[in-house]
């Protein structure tokens, strides 16, 4: 444990979890890969080989959204799981460090989309109403829905804290119940919602089902799993190592099953393109539950072992991890233009070549832009990236949710 003085108050800092930044970096890159693949895998004329490879890669990185939920739960419970929680102070920090950046980027994407689509100017009341609706729904741009989901976990954290803390000694039982409930819920989504959809009369219920991908209950299992991981973080390496062989078996078996089922959806469309129903691998498909849960444990184990052995890889991943919050907002903007450039000028590389170039360029440019914004002292610049690098307070948002043990330089600055 470390102690620091912040705002005249003595605060305790826990030891930094070294692998968290690596996990954040890996998961951000997985998000970029997903969105890059989505831009190319339905390209006209795509053949069987590139289509299957793209589907293979997409399935591998489907852990991304659940992993961000898992990390959020882990870090919150690591920092607040055993102590008292000042809820209003907690919420005020998240409002400034998470909601405001999200709201600003919703406005940015609204203005940008309106401009490129040639939407005529509206009166202030109409614009305000549209922005409010986009903020609540997460529809400002295709990737912003996740912010609506994650904010609910912060708002409801005290309830999750009670659930996990009261069942700390019955962790296996609690996780098993949550896992079964999660499978049943996703089964209802998959089988029952399409059947009853037309008969639903309640507009509220119908809206909730339509937006079920951004309602906390759809992801709560991964948050609870992360919560228990945060409470037992010191034992986590041993647990993951002890269960490694079993997890590898589950991972390979579930991946093979998913990919086999995916290949059964293949067909040639009228334009001659080889098409797969990649929605089958969506993280809210109940077939994916075993694979995604296994993936979370596998990727976490690799972040503690393999990715720490190579200094260069570790440095790159940690750098992406530290800036993952801002990069997440920026990458969709960058990807649109990079994809357009690749499709226009890089056809000679083929689909896989274009995917590779777009992925690398989008990741690098997002990081560069986020780094530049965070380093340039502009008014409210930290609201674009969610973190002011000159502010060494312990609260750091979302994908960098809480600072743990500071570096020697940070500790020196904190100490004054």
Query: Above 80 in pLDDT, residue 226?
Result: yes
| Highest mean pLDDT, choosing among 120-134, 166-180, 244-258 | 244-258
Q: Diameter of the chain by CA atoms?
A: 69
pLDDT on residue 44: 82
User: Is a pLDDT exceeding 90 seen at residue 279?
Assistant: no
pTM over 0.85: yes
- How many Cα atoms within 13 Å fall on the side-chain side of residue 270? 0
DSSP code for 211: T
Checking if the pLDDT of 332 tops 80, the result is yes
* Alpha-helix residue ranges (DSSP H) falling in 305-349: 306-309, 311-322, 324-345
Mean pLDDT to the nearest integer, 19-35: 95
Compute the average pLDDT of residues 129-137.
93
Number of domains in the chain: 1
Q: Which own/partner contact pairs does 406-410 have at CB distance under 8 Å and 24+ positions apart? A: 406/2, 406/4, 406/13, 406/16
CA distance 356 to 366: 15
Residue of 264, 226, 293 whose CA lies nearest to 24? 226
- Buried b / exposed e along 193-219 (16+ C-beta atoms within 10 A): eeeeeeeeeeeeeeeebebbbbebebb
252: confidence class by pLDDT, cuts 50, 70, 90: very high
Q: How much is the average pLDDT of 174-195?
A: 93
Residue span of the structural domain in which 411 resides:
2-415
Using a 10 angstrom Cβ sphere, with 0-12 exposed, 13-18 middle and 19 or more buried, the burial of residue 388 is middle
Task: Give residue 396's pLDDT band: very low, low, confident or very high (50, 70, 90).
Answer: very low
What's the pLDDT band for 413 if we cut at 50, 70, 90?
A: very low
């Amino acid at each position: 444990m470390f102690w620091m003085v912040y705002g005249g108050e003595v605060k305790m800092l826990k030891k930094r979890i070294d692998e968290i930044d690596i996990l954040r970096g890996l998961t951000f890159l997985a998000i970029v890969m997903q969105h890059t693949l989505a831009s190319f895998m339905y390209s006209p004329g795509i053949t069987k080989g590139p289509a299957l490879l793209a589907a293979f890669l997409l399935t591998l990185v489907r852990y991304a959204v659940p992993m961000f939920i898992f990390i959020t739960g882990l870090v919150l419970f690591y920092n607040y799981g055993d102590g008292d929680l000042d809820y209003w102070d907690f919420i005020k920090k998240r409002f400034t460090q998470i909601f405001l950046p999200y709201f600003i980027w919703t406005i940015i994407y609204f203005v940008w989309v309106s401009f490129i689509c040639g939407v005529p100017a509206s009166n202030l009341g109409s614009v305000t109403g549209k922005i409010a609706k986009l903020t609540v729904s997460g529809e400002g741009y295709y990737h912003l829905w996740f912010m609506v989901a994650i904010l609910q976990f912060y708002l409801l954290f005290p309830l999750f804290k009670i659930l996990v803390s009261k069942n700390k000694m019955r962790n296996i039982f609690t996780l098993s119940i949550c896992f079964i409930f999660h499978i049943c819920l996703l089964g209802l989504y998959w089988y029952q919602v399409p059947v009853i959809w037309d008969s639903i009369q309640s507009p509220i219920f119908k809206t909730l089902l339509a937006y079920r991908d951004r309602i906390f209950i759809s992801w709560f299992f991964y948050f609870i799993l992360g919560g228990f991981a945060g409470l037992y973080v010191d034992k986590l390496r041993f647990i993951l190592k002890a269960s490694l062989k079993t997890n590898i078996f589950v991972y390979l078996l579930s991946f093979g099953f998913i990919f086999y089922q995916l290949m059964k959806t293949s067909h040639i469309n009228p334009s001659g393109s080889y098409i797969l129903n990649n929605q089958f691998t969506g993280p809210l498909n109940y077939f994916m539950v075993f694979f995604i849960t296994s993936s979370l444990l596998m990727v976490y184990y690799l972040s503690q072992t393999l990715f720490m052995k190579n200094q260069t890889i570790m440095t790159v991943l940690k750098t992406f991890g530290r800036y993952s919050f801002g990069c997440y907002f920026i990458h969709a903007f960058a990807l649109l233009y990079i994809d357009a450039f690749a499709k226009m000028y890089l056809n000679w590389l083929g689909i896989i070549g274009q995917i590779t170039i777009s992925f690398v360029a989008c990741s690098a440019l997002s990081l560069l832009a986020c780094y530049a914004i965070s380093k340039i002292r502009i008014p409210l610049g930290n609201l674009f990236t969610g973190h002011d690098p000159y502010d060494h307070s312990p609260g750091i948002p979302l994908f960098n949710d809480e600072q743990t043990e500071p570096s020697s330089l940070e500790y020196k600055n904190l100490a004054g």
